[in-house]
Amino acid sequence: MRMLHTMIRVGDLEASKRFYCEALGMKVLREEDFPDGKFSLSFIGYGDESSNTVIELTYNYGQAEYALGDAFGHIALGTDDIKAACERVRSLGYKVVREPGPMKHGTTVIAFVQDPTGYKIELIQS
C-alpha cells in the first residue's frame, strides 16, 4: 500500500490552483468535472500520480466557503530554501502566517503559509 492523495474542499477552484501552482510550484496533473454530481476535481502535485502523493482539490458547485474545523491540521512540504519559498508566496499576494524560524521546543526550521480557502501549509527546511 501507499498513500495516493489528500482531498481538500475549496471554495474557488481557479484561485486554489493558482496558489498551489504559482506559489508552491505544483502542477495540475488531471481534472475531472461531474455536472450530474455538481462537483469538479483537480489533482495537483510535484510528479506523476503513479509514484507521488498528490492533493485532490474538490470544488462543490455553489459552495464558496467551508468551516475548516479544528481536527485537520495542515499539509507539510519540504523545501531547500524556506526563506525564498516564503518570499515567493508573499510576492504573489498570498499570506505567510508564520515566518521561518525554529519550531517551538525544537530546532527544525518551519514556516506556515495559507491557501485561498484558509488551509495552512507548513514549509519545512530540508
Residue carrying the nine cell digits 455553489: 62
- Report the alpha-carbon distance of residue 47 to residue 59 in Å, rounded: 22
- Report the alpha-carbon distance of residue 78 to residue 100 in Å, rounded: 13
Catalytic residue status for 122: yes
Strand partners, 56: 7, 43
- Report the alpha-carbon distance of residue 54 to residue 17 in Å, rounded: 13
- The one catalytic residue in 65, 87, 99, 122 is 122
Active site residues: 122
